[in-house]
Amino acid sequence: MKIFYFPPERQLAKDMALLTIGIIIGAVLATLAIGYQIEKVHNENSLLKVELNERKNQIKALEDQVTEAKKWFVVKEIEIDLELPKRNFADKDDLELKIKEQIKEMLKEIRGKRVNNLDPQVIWHIVEGRQIETLGYKFILKVKGVLVSEKVVFFVYAEYQASNQQEEPVM
């Protein structure tokens, strides 16, 4: 079965048509491969920007600590261990990154504070029950645990709120 019919004297036209189709298919495949690489580099760039901002904040906190006369234990780093619901989000990595950014923004005031002056129950309630919205999704943050030392670690579960659920007031 022949797809294209070309008389024998039209062999050049047939060859040119097949070459053109091959070029078009090759261009489409190359575009898809390059698009995948660009997406991958974009996500990595976003992650590195967040890490850079976090490192700048750490440097500032350390510089402030050095100026203090007494050597107290102070909060140098904030880490968020985030757990998302077992749901397929289209942009799960970016979503996780944005939620962590928002939580760190809530907690920015405790960086540089003395550890012995921090009340774990108070910093627990900074995040507990907060409603956040990012990338069109709504979440309520549930704190599972807090580790307070020079590195404060928050273990947070982000509970997804579907748009048809009745919203509770944000505290």
For the entire predicted model, the pTM comes to 0.57
What confidence tens digit (pLDDT) does each residue in 110-169 have? Answer: 888 888 888 888 888 899 999 999 888 899 999 999 998 888 999 999 998 877 554 444
In this prediction, residue 47 carries a pLDDT of 93
User: Mind listing the pLDDT tens digit for each residue in 62-107?
Assistant: 887 776 645 667 888 899 999 988 888 778 888 899 999 999 999 8
Q: Is the pLDDT of residue 2 over 80?
A: no
Residue 45 has pLDDT above 90, yes or no: yes
Q: Specify the pLDDT at position 169.
A: 46
Distance CA 140, CA 160 (A): 7
